[in-house]
Amino acid sequence: MTGVKAAAQAAMQAVMKKAVALAPDSWIPGGEPDPLIRHKHGLIGAAISRIDGPLKVAGQARFSAEFPMERMTYAALHYSTIAKGRITAIDAASARAAPGVVLVMTHENAPRLNPTPPFMSKPKAAGGDSVPVMQDDRIHWNGQPVALVLAETQEQADHAQSLIRVSYAPEAGVTSMASARAQGPEQGYFRGEPLKLEQGDAEDLLAAAPHRVDAAYSTPRHNHNSIELHAATVAWSGDELYIHDATQAVDHVAWSIAEAFGIEERQVRVTSPYVGGGFGSKILWQHQILAAAASKLAGRPVRIMVSREGVFRIVGGRTVTEQRVAIGAQSDGGFDAIIHTGTVAMTPHNNLPEPFILPARSAYAAKSFKLDVKTVKLNMVANTFMRAPGESVGTFGLESAIDELAFDLGMDPIALRIRNEPDKDPTTGLPFSARHIVEAWGAGAERFGWDKRNAQPRAQRDGDWLIGLGCATATYPYYRMPGGAARIVLRKDGHATVSISAHEMGMGTSTVQTQIAAERLGLTMEQVTFEYGDNTLPGVVLAGGSQQTAAIGGAVIAAHRKLVGELLKLAGNDSPLAGLKPDEVGGFDGGLCSLQDPSRSESYASILARARQDEVMAEADGSPPLEGQHWSMHSHGAMFCEVRVNAVTGEVRVSRFLGSFDCGRIINAKTAASQFRGGIVMGLGLALMEETQFDERTGRIMNPSLAEYHVPVHLDVPMIEVMWTDEPDPHTPMGARGVGEIGITGVGAAVANAVFNATGKRVRDLPITLDKLL
């Protein structure tokens, strides 16, 4: 997006926002609480095992590369070895002649394609970048695919790929932060708004404050590294394309591929029933488009399973951030100024300036704010969304700085945070929809035994091991994106099927949505089928932003309301329900009953039998998600960490961790706990070991494997305690606010703060490896 266009869009959005902020509550979705919030003892909140669990533990859940097809071919990719320039020649003769080779595709013979619409540029855009896919001789990053081989077997494709020789005319690329900065940083925009906010004179107030911290923090590149590789099984039948994909956005992928091939969206079917982890990475990258193009040329189905190295080369991760955090405070701890500014790397072909200032916008009250994210452009694979983009690394800077300030003030870091607890959103002035972080701190501190902490560093020791405790705030916003429609079909035998094009990447979607639908309809879970993972179903749901549960919830609420209306019509005047309006009845025990007088009820079977109908169907769109502009809606957590640092070797071991969360109503105690723990585990990786090493001379990723990019393993992870307030948010579907991303936030700082408490060393550059502690 150009600066002018972005600025115009931002101005337009600002006007809309004002109107929504000032509207009466009753006009806003969520103004009337979801009736499910009143259900206290049913399925909502129960610890229910995953309904797809038996399939998964038996190895029978089918992932995208696991659909056999007649005449299958296998793809292998060849990647560029320069960061910028042109291809001058491709010698593929020996590859073409190799046994089993069906096709070698390069920019010279690839079908003509339109540029991929990059994510967030259009409602259903899914592209990780907008670089044309194998359309010309230009190289934009080191690792860009330049040739694809199809063969009868994977071994033949891999071998033939190794025979390809590409000659390049390299040009000077931008591969270091220093040279990128020299080109002039630009303003970052996120969700149509500039990542910039100034209220009051923060620099002056900082300078005048009796206590202040002003430090630089940095975080490296990260890769998602879901254990399932990016893969797709692709086949054309005539001009219709079928993709078994591993994706968190079936509709977005279908629409965007249709755009690339210049065909109608309805000609593309994308299914994705099981996804082996996504964390933001499983959107549309070049491999699905290349596989579809090659399949078209060869006239045969294609399986593409990108190698682990290939995933590092063609699927972007989290970008590098350079942050400044400065806080000025009075002696009682009251904040005069919060400054959080810095620079992130991006490419010219995408639009995600890692928005690390988001936590500072709403976490604490202060007299003044100065927040700003600037971007610089590099020749690198386009960075993308990775679990809590912005918050995961932004909380590292902010929450470390608060710990530094607390130490300087001689104040308990929890007390300092609570001292600056805002009573309304500190930067927008909007009321909070629900905020119980103080309770979460209290409960967490008690459980963790925080009162036993010695604030003096190096005070606790066990042999060679220095022991320290640290804490930090976790925070993530509530989002609900327009999710389109959901459909409910209720049969006369009392079975309901709820359908919406959502995703199951392990979050527990299918289980949780079955629970919710059963509770809403007054059925058992066995009486409900939840259909998802197919773009031909109603709805446009993105599994991202921790918003899928809310988006589905909004659509199902609308479809359910319509269904109840239909049922009341069918019930007619002979029913005990006669005269009641949809809002006056609820689902109960296989039928509807009056909320006022539960003795007035009729079963679904009886209503449909009397109406002589086999089933009743309702489909409706969810309300526009305006609640997020009317209230300030955020989840929080209080994160506690105990580390043991070896005084001789500098090794850090996390020995205890506790997360105390305030995320609205928890729908499934078992799967939510796993979401929290999973986020925390990824946060431990971010804190202690994860780094995508980028060679600033060549722009090449140097550790593209799970052997060299370290993620936490069993031995790195202690038993992690999680707990929650379970206070429903009155303004969200089901009272829930999303649990997928918050777990990773705050962890980096909680660990760093514990390391400081153990050693007296303040590490401001992630990951906290042992060399930084020696």
Partner 1 sequence: MRFNINGQPMEADVDTRTSLLDLLREHLELFGTKKGCNQGACGACTVLVDGQRINSCLALAVQYQDREIITIEGLGAPGSLHPLQAAFVEHDGFQCGYCTPGQICSAVGMADELARGVPSYVTADIAAEAIDVTDEELRERMSGNLCRCGAYNGIIDAIRETLAQAASADVKREAA
**Under the rule (CB under 8 A), what is the footprint of partner 1?**
49-50, 52-63, 65-66, 68, 74, 153-156, 159, 224-229, 274-277, 279, 305, 307-308, 505-508, 670-671, 673-675, 677-682, 705-707, 711-715, 717, 719-720
Q: Residues 6 or more apart from 725 whose CB is under 8 A from it?
A: 436, 439, 440, 443, 660, 661, 662
Nearest to partner 1 of 275, 490 (CB atom)? 275
Residue 57 interface partner, choices partner 1, ligand FES, none, CB cut-off 5-8 Å depending on type: partner 1
Nearest to partner 1 of 455, 706 (CB atom)? 706
Query: Measured between alpha carbons, how far is 750 from 445 in angstroms, rounded to an integer?
Result: 13
Nearest to partner 1 of 52, 372 (CB atom)? 52
CB of 576 to partner 1, least distance (A): 41
Query: Measured between alpha carbons, how far is 565 from 561 in angstroms, rounded to an integer?
Result: 6
CB of 177 to partner 1, least distance (A): 28
- CA end-to-end distance (rounded Å), the chain: 46
Residue 705 interface partner, choices ligand FES, partner 1, none, CB cut-off 5-8 Å depending on type: partner 1
Q: Give the closest residue to 746 by CA, choosing from 632, 663, 637, 653.
A: 637
Binding-site size for ligand FES (CB under 6 A) equals 3
Q: Give the closest residue to 692 by CA, choosing from 283, 279, 224.
A: 224
Asked whether 560 and 553 are in contact (CB, 8 A), the reply is no
Residue 101 interface partner, choices ligand FES, partner 1, none, CB cut-off 5-8 Å depending on type: none
Asked whether 212 and 327 are in contact (CB, 8 A), the reply is yes
Applying the rule CB under 6 A, the residues between 445 and 504 that interact with ligand FES are none
> 639 pairs with which residues across the strands?
472, 659
CB of 65 to partner 1, least distance (A): 8
Asked whether 209 and 329 are in contact (CB, 8 A), the reply is yes
Residue 454 interface partner, choices partner 1, ligand FES, none, CB cut-off 5-8 Å depending on type: none
Query: Measured between alpha carbons, how far is 358 from 766 in angstroms, rounded to an integer?
Result: 19
Helix (H) or strand (E) holding 557: helix 548-571
Asked whether 530 and 510 are in contact (CB, 8 A), the reply is yes
Residue among 111, 170, 277, 348 that touches ligand FES (CB under 6 A):
277
Q: What is the DSSP string of 23-58?
A: S-GGGSTTSSPPGGGG--SSSTB-----TTHHHHHT
CB of 225 to ligand FES, least distance (A): 10
Query: Measured between alpha carbons, how far is 55 from 66 in angstroms, rounded to an integer?
Result: 14
Nearest to partner 1 of 647, 669 (CB atom)? 669
Active-site residue among 228, 504, 642, 741?
741
Query: Measured between alpha carbons, how far is 302 from 286 in angstroms, rounded to an integer?
Result: 14
Residue 678 interface partner, choices partner 1, ligand FES, none, CB cut-off 5-8 Å depending on type: partner 1
Q: Give the closest residue to 354 by CA, choosing from 316, 325, 313.
A: 316
Structure tokens at 84: 């910028």
Residue 428 interface partner, choices partner 1, ligand FES, none, CB cut-off 5-8 Å depending on type: none
Residue 238 interface partner, choices partner 1, ligand FES, none, CB cut-off 5-8 Å depending on type: none
CB of 356 to partner 1, least distance (A): 22
Q: What is the 3-state secondary structure (H, E, C) of 582-618?
A: HHHEEEECCEEEECCCCCCEEEHHHHHHHCCCCEEEE
Place of tokens 């393993």: 713
Query: Measured between alpha carbons, how far is 571 from 608 in angstroms, rounded to an integer?
Result: 8
Residue 60 interface partner, choices partner 1, ligand FES, none, CB cut-off 5-8 Å depending on type: partner 1
CB of 54 to partner 1, least distance (A): 4
Nearest to ligand FES of 15, 227 (CB atom)? 227
Query: What is the torsion angle, in degrees rounded to the nearest 10, for the CA atoms of residue 518, residue 522, residue 524 and residue 525?
Result: 0
CB of 65 to ligand FES, least distance (A): 12
Q: Residues 6 or more apart from 155 whose CB is under 8 A from it?
A: none
Residue 755 interface partner, choices ligand FES, partner 1, none, CB cut-off 5-8 Å depending on type: none
Q: Residues 6 or more apart from 541 whose CB is under 8 A from it?
A: 251, 483, 484, 500, 501, 502, 503, 548, 551, 552, 555
Q: Residues 6 or more apart from 379 whose CB is under 8 A from it?
A: 83, 84, 140, 141, 142, 173, 174, 175, 347, 699
Examine residue 506 and tell whether it contacts ligand FES (CB under 6 A).
yes
DSSP state of 263: -
CB of 277 to ligand FES, least distance (A): 5
Distance of CA 57 to the CA centre of its chain: 25
Examine residue 359 and tell whether it contacts ligand FES (CB under 6 A).
no
Nearest to ligand FES of 277, 582 (CB atom)? 277
Nearest to partner 1 of 178, 715 (CB atom)? 715
Residue 330 interface partner, choices partner 1, ligand FES, none, CB cut-off 5-8 Å depending on type: none
Nearest to partner 1 of 311, 411 (CB atom)? 311
CB of 58 to partner 1, least distance (A): 5
What angle do the packed helices 250-261 and 286-298 form, to 10 degrees? 50
Instruction: Check if 186 is active-site.
Output: no
CB of 398 to ligand FES, least distance (A): 30
CB of 7 to ligand FES, least distance (A): 42
Applying the rule CB under 6 A, the residues between 219 and 248 that interact with ligand FES are 227
Examine residue 715 and tell whether it contacts ligand FES (CB under 6 A).
no
Nearest to partner 1 of 54, 210 (CB atom)? 54
> 379 pairs with which residues across the strands?
none
DSSP state of 736: B
Nearest to ligand FES of 359, 506 (CB atom)? 506
Q: CB nearest ligand FES: which residue?
A: 227
Nearest to partner 1 of 355, 743 (CB atom)? 743
Residue 747 interface partner, choices partner 1, ligand FES, none, CB cut-off 5-8 Å depending on type: none
Asked whether 743 and 678 are in contact (CB, 8 A), the reply is yes
Question: Which residue numbers are catalytic?
Answer: 741
Residues that bind ligand FES (CB under 6 A): 227, 277, 506
